[in-house]
Structure 1
């Protein structure tokens, strides 16, 4: 672990860069941002605290994320012919220094960003709104995502199939 701390600007820029990787369909580069024990979590109910004992829209470890990334790149993924596209519009991320996991002296940071996310394919377009909370960890001098939690405003609604990553 690096002994240097990260400035607020560095943490904020990391979140913007992560969203850009997704919008540019650079899914392998995005996956490389995750720790080996990292998770991508999208709760099914407002205020959900447990992804294991309660159902989630998504709760995927790095292996499942890799499978999804490979599927998105596959030539036989008919649900992606033509491919879906996305656009993230982020409010400036904030550093959540009161979060219990946020411990800069341990190389652990928590950043939160409200978003509007558009996913489109052919003549269908869906707009989602919510906020993402990132638990970031310094691994050998580079920030990595330990957990990305995506809370949708309407998480408990009947949602159409989400093809990409928010």
Structure 2
């Protein structure tokens, strides 16, 4: 047996540890999430992009309706509502600042509620896995009805010392069929 194989056998597998609710680290992450929601609701997209890592992957796979026996197959990651990077998001933000973003001009009125935030350590010292629930309300034009979008987010955030950055987000939507005409807002 080679030294590499022996080292791999003796290596202890990584076990994530939950970050305690109310701890200083938990509160810092939670505040970053509240700040993110506020920036997006206030249409401060350029500020929001400063929260994003340059190697970001930002996705929303399709939800399928399955029987209870096949519930584990209800998320279809080969089909996405969106699959974006930092560069594509930055391009969308530039477009929103211009005069060709017709899907969001006039802009939607949104409110993002973030809850059930759970944070765990990862194999990298400065990265944390964050799971949260979200509810997005959206109002367009003079319509009397709000569109709702809810789901769970699986994120990876990096601690840069003075701030966090979002390195990965997968938004698992609760709806199999979206209740809004387009998904031109950030989740």
TM interval, shorter chain, is: 0.7 to 0.9
Structure 1 Cα separation of the partners of residues 164 and 178 of structure 2:
35
SS of match in other structure, 1:90: strand
- For each residue in 1:63-110, what CA deviation from the matched residue of structure 2 results, as whole angstroms up to 9, or x when unmatched? 11011111222223333332212101222412145xxxx24x610101
TM-score, length of structure 1 as denominator length: 0.81
Question: Would you say the 8 A contact 2:57–2:168 is kept in 1?
Answer: yes
Q: Is 1:84 the equivalent of 2:102? A: no
User: CA-atom RMSD, angstroms?
Assistant: 2.0
Instruction: Give the alignment of 1:144-155 within 5 angstroms.
Output: 144-154=165-175
Asked whether the equivalents of residues 62 and 75 of structure 2 are also in contact (C-alpha less than 8 Å), the reply is no
Whole-Å Cα distance in 2 between the matches of residues 127 and 158 of structure 1? Answer: 9
Number of residues of Structure 1 aligned to a counterpart in Structure 2: 151
Paired residue for 1:126, among 143, 147, 151?
A: 147
Deviates more, 1:7-16 or 1:72-81: 72-81
1:59 aligned to which of 67, 72, 83: 83
In the alignment, is the contact (CA less than 8 A) between 1:132 and 1:151 conserved in 2?
Answer: yes
Cα-to-partner distance string for 1:8-33 (whole Å, 9 max, x where unaligned):
11111111111111111111111111
Distance 2:105 2:178 in 1: 24
Q: Which blocks of at least 5 consecutive residues in structure 2 are unaligned?
A: 1-23, 64-73
Deviates more, 1:118-127 or 1:9-18: 118-127
Aligned to 2:54: 36
Q: State the match for 1:114 in structure 2.
A: 133
Partner of residue 3, structure 1: none
If asked which structure has higher relative contact order (CA below 8 Å, sep 6+), I would say: 1
TM-score (norm 2): 0.72
Match in the other structure for 2:75:
47
CA positional deviation for 1:144: 0.7
- Residue 141 of structure 1 deviates from its aligned partner by 4.5
